[in-house]
């Protein structure tokens, strides 16, 4: 068959569109790059003024809250976390609010946009209700895919471009993987710490390895008697300096941060969704939890998308002394095939609170994140 000649006007329009997207990508990349300079100063005065400032917002109306959030944003933003959550917080009526906009690309080419907000949790209040809506045409929201990882959301005349974090070229150094380990994908956690998610096919365990190919936004201190356990001064993330390879393995997060679902609860909820190749993750999960065969998609989620498999090999701790057992185990098993099991904490059984080998295979976690 003969090819139809292309219409010059259409071809020129396509070229202009491609150039516009390329320019947008370059602009977002440039805006995200931060020049070195003095730190930003935060004051109590600004905090008090914000808390006490009268504000008129119907927090019971999700679309009113969404309009407020969208109108408060610039024309383009960078979504750093790799599960595509764009986080925000504000104060209203003396109460702290938090939430997120999550862009969820699907394998079928469709894109789902979730909007969540709630009164923020604290040690003294952990039962505030959560408002969750799907943003689509039925609510007057337009979602446009401009490029593979770039989307534009429009509502009530305001448009904002959301650029998802492109880590497609990020790979661990060749010597950062142990024999039997498979690289699942790169992670940018909401704590601003980057990880490599790896799976050990022999031991059937997952690990989060600190990505040191880029500057690590953290300063560490040694935990007590072991100089191999390093704890972040900002995040509370505890890492172990591997005795066999030049790398740091995440072994713990501070318990209160995990319980309150803060930005420092660990990377279990920022999996590398945009960079998982084929069946790599599902295959690993089914080796750990064969009972999930036929029940999860390639991201480890149930068909309704509400929950997904929990990958949390690290422990939660209240004092750094609780982490010393990891070093004791690592020294004892240094030349054993089970050495890397020292860095996998067994989760507590939901009923008894005791560690349970079966709990790990049954654990799922909600995707609608606070």
Domain residue ranges in the chain = 44-164, 174-366
Say if residues 160 and 113 touch (Cβ distance below 8 Å): no
pLDDT at 290 over 90: yes
pLDDT of residue 274: 96
Contacts of 351 (CB under 8 A, 6+ apart): none
Q: 35 or 349: which carries more pLDDT confidence? A: 35
pLDDT of residue 328: 96
pLDDT at 6 over 60: no
Beta strand extents in 136-255 (DSSP E only): 141-147, 150-155, 158-164, 181-188, 194-200, 205-210, 220-223, 226-232, 238-241, 248-254
Mean pLDDT throughout 287-316?
93
pLDDT of residue 369: 64
pLDDT bracket for residue 359 (50, 70, 90): very low
Q: How far apart are CA 361 and CA 344, in angstroms?
A: 13
pLDDT of residue 367: 66
pLDDT of residue 299: 94
pLDDT of residue 15: 37
pLDDT at 358 over 70: no
Strands of the sheet with 150-155, listed across from one edge: 76-79, 158-164, 150-155, 141-147
pLDDT at 63 over 70: yes
pTM summary value? 0.86
């Amino acid at each position: 068959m003969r090819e139809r000649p292309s219409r010059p006007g259409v071809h020129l329009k396509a070229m202009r569109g491609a150039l516009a997207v390329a320019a947008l990508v370059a602009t977002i990349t440039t805006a995200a790059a931060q020049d070195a300079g003095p730190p930003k100063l935060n004051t109590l005065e600004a905090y008090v003024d914000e808390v006490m400032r009268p504000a008129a917002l119907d927090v019971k109306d999700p679309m009113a809250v969404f309009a407020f959030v969208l109108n408060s944003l610039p024309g383009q933003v960078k979504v750093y976390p790799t599960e595509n959550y764009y986080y925000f917080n504000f104060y209203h009526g003396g109460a702290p609010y938090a939430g997120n906009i999550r862009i969820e690309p699907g394998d079928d080419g469709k894109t789902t946009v979730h909007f969540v907000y709630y009164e923020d949790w604290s040690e003294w209040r952990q039962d505030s209700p959560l408002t969750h809506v799907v943003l689509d045409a039925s609510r007057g929201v337009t979602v446009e895919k401009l490029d593979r990882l770039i989307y534009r959301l429009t509502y009530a005349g305001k448009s904002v471009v959301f650029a998802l974090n492109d880590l497609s070229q990020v790979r661990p150094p060749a010597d950062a993987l142990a024999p039997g380990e498979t690289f699942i994908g790169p992670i940018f956690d909401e704590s601003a710490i980057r990880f490599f998610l790896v799976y050990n096919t022999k031991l059937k365990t997952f690990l989060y390895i600190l990505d040191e190919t880029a500057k690590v936004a953290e300063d560490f201190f040694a935990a007590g008697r072991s100089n191999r356990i390093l704890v972040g001064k900002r995040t509370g993330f505890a890492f172990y300096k591997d005795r066999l390879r030049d790398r740091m393995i995440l072994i713990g997060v501070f318990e209160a941060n995990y319980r309150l679902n803060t930005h420092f609860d660990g990377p279990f909820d920022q999996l590398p969704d945009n960079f998982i190749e084929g069946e790599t993750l599902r295959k690993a999960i089914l080796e750990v939890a064969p009972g999930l065969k036929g029940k999860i998609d390639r991201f480890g989620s149930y068909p309704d998308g509400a929950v997904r498999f929990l990958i949390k090999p690290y422990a939660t701790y209240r004092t750094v002394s609780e982490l010393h057992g990891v070093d004791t185990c690592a020294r004892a098993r240094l030349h054993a095939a089970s050495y890397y099991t020292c860095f996998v904490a067994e989760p507590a059984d939901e009923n008894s609170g005791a560690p349970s080998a079966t709990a790990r295979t049954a654990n799922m976690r909600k995707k609608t994140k606070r």
